[in-house]
Amino acid sequence: MLGALTVLLVFQLIGEVLVHFARLPIPGPVIGLLLLFLGLCLRGSLALPLRDTANGILQHLSLLFVPAGVGVMVHFSRVSGEWLPILAATIISTALAIAVSALVMQALMRGREGADDGKGGA
C-alpha cells in the first residue's frame, strides 16, 4: 500500500512539474492521471496493491470534497446577493446537462448496437 501511494504521489508530482514548466491550463493531478493511465497501458497489467489502494481512496472520494465545500461559507454574502439567478442557473443547467449527455450517448449506443447486430451489447 505504501508503494502504491508513492506511485500516485510521484505521478502527481510529475504532473505538477510539467504543468508548471509548460504553463498548461490543466491541473497537475489531471496530467498525472493521464500519465499513469498511459503507463498502465504500456505495461499491460495492473499490480494488485495499486488496484486496492486506488479503490480504497476512490471509495471515500466524497469525503475529500468536504473541506472545500465548507469554504462556501466564506462567500455566503456574495451568493446570497444574487441567490435566485445563481441557484436557478446551477440546478436547472446541471439537470439539463445530465439529461442531454445521457440521452445523446444512449441514442448513439442504440444506433451502434443495431448496426453491429447487437453484439457486444452494453
Partner 1 sequence: MTPRITDVWVYLSASPLLGLTLTLIAYQAAYWLYQRAGFNPLLNPVLLAILMLVTALTLTGTSYATYFDGAQFVHFLLGPATVALAVPLYLQFDKLKKLALPLAVALLAGSLTAIVSAVGIAWLLGASETTLLSLAPKSVTTPIAMGIAEKLGGIPSLAAVLVMLTGVSGSVMAKYVLDGLRITDHGVRGFAVGIAAHGIGTARAFQVSEQAGAFAGLGMGLNGLVTAMLVPLLLVLWRWI
Rounded distance between C-alpha atoms, residue 85 and residue 120, angstroms: 45
- Residue of the chain from 48, 72, 80, 115 that contacts partner 1 (CB under 8 A): 72
- Residue of the chain from 22, 48, 70, 115 that contacts partner 1 (CB under 8 A): 70
If one asks whether residue 9 binds partner 1 (CB under 8 A), the answer comes out as yes
**Binders of partner 1: how many residues, by CB under 8 A?**
74
Rounded distance between C-alpha atoms, residue 66 and residue 55, angstroms: 19
Lookup result for grid cell 496493491 = 49
If one asks whether residue 17 binds partner 1 (CB under 8 A), the answer comes out as no
- Across 23-92, the runs of DSSP E, i.e. the strands, are none
- Residue of the chain from 2, 61, 77, 115 that contacts partner 1 (CB under 8 A): 61
